[in-house]
Amino acid sequence: MNQRQIGPFQIEGQLGVGGMGVVYLATYNETGKKVALKVLSPGIATDPRLIRRFEREIQILKKMDHPNIVKYYGGGTSGGQPWYAMEYIDGGSLRDVLKKKKVLSWEQAIQVGRQLCAALEHAHYAGIVHRDLKPANLFLNRKGRLKLGDFGIARDTEATALTAAGKTVGTYAYMAPEQIHGSKPISGKTDLYATGCLLMEILTGHTPFEADNPAEMLIQHVDSDARLVNEMPNITGRPTCCPAPLERLIERLLEKDPDERPYDALAVHTELTEMLEKLKSPESQAAAAAASAGGIDPVTGLPEETQKKKAKKKKKKKGEHVEFYEQTWFLGICLAAVLGLGVWLLMPPGEAKVFEQAEAAWKSTDETVQRDGRTKHMLPYLDRFPEGPHRADVQRWADEVMASRLEAQTRRMEISRRAARSQYETDFVTALAAEDDPERNVLVAVELFHALQLRLEKDHAAAVAADPTLKNYPDDDVTNSQAANEPRYWQILTERHLNALRTRVI
């Protein structure tokens, strides 16, 4: 095999070496586009088991379509060596950033966590657990967008390769207890444990557990309690600055028992998003400024100046002149004003505000934000404002988001070989297989989707005839299994795929 040419790609240089292969920077001859080219090492390119693992990684990447996951372009074999091309990320990895900066701010840590959890949410919906999260596998483009890569095809042989390179401890530093002792199955919560390790490293420069050898580190993961983030020695020598809500979340991510960790990546993404909004609010910033200026009393949690004033008040003698602002009548007025303000603040937002929030969620390119927005803003809008001026738009957005979720679940079904939940899903999977098969004529897929579309239109019309309210007020409070039997969601998906296929035919 020509060392400078692999398939249709011109090799520009080496980006990295892993346990099973080499990743090159390459240029696609026809367009000049830069790609990252992963090539299976010659010494193991004849091992059928490892070739199957390589092919499995390709199949996994084909299923991934998310702005926070490295894109797959295509693969093949050249000179007997399997290879595949993927998106080249020009900003290096998180490991490179941490080598240079040592630690990041808590705001940056939250942003990394949010983007990582968005990627994990997408992968977990497709039935994929990464199992090997670490800074070297998190890439950053020059705009700061995080991209999750390297889906761990060499899990059985990686330990040996890394031991030879003297980096075993670095890999094991993010390993969840269930990966070590196998008492509970590997799940999405395994990746959440590694996320907790990553967040602690970003904030302090240290992973939760550090040891001189792999065995000692694995024992610590299983038996030792991780220190609190703010108690960790900062690698820069400066005090670690981590807000209490973020510290508590990291504690929960690092629970030994998977059942004690957050429910899933979406839950963590939502918590981090809300946390960032609250910590960035004027009220939180004012409180932080007060704490920074006057210090915090360790017992009361009040700024020291406030604590001193409270102590002075206690020393006042009976009968001493009391200022009007300390008298009962004035305090009563203030209390009434505060209660009135509280009631006003607790009032639910109006139609315009809820629509604005729903629209912002719909326009987001992050599907996790869209799903969260459907639950928090779109469905509440439809429920609270049945005659609202934007009802039709919000209904369409809610249906589109649910349809996307339904397709993700269906593709996950293909991987896990789960039984279809409805005949619609069965027919949709058949059409998808025809669309994804490069050996079949694209018109076959068009015919299959079109036949499904006609059936869906007929069934939807029958449902509306039986219950006319469905036309304007469809039931959105449906479970995933119920959604699989709703014609309107499959109508959206078939129309999407037909439009894409028509473009290919043209």
Assigned token pair, 280: 């960035």
Q: Which residues are catalytic?
A: 132
Q: Are 126 and 201 in contact (CB under 8 A)?
A: no
- As a whole number of angstroms, the distance between CA 458 and CA 443 comes to 23
- As a whole number of angstroms, the distance between CA 100 and CA 315 comes to 54
Q: What count of other Cβ atoms lies within 10 Å of the Cβ of residue 312?
A: 9
- As a whole number of angstroms, the distance between CA 218 and CA 169 comes to 9
Q: What Cα–Cα distance (Å) separates residue 366 from each residue in 120, 148, 392?
A: 12, 14, 22
Q: What Cα–Cα distance (Å) separates residue 28 from each residue in 36, 66, 81, 85, 86?
A: 10, 23, 18, 9, 11
482-487: long-range contacts, CB 8 A cutoff, minimum separation 24: 483/402, 483/405, 483/406, 484/406, 484/409, 484/420, 484/421, 484/422, 484/424, 484/425, 485/421, 485/422, 485/424, 487/424, 487/456, 487/457, 487/459, 487/460, 487/463
Assigned token pair, 255: 């629970």
Q: What Cα–Cα distance (Å) separates residue 469 from each residue in 97, 400, 419?
A: 56, 20, 32
Q: What Cα–Cα distance (Å) separates residue 56 from each residue in 42, 51, 63, 151, 154?
A: 19, 9, 11, 10, 11
Residue showing tokens 């006319």: 468
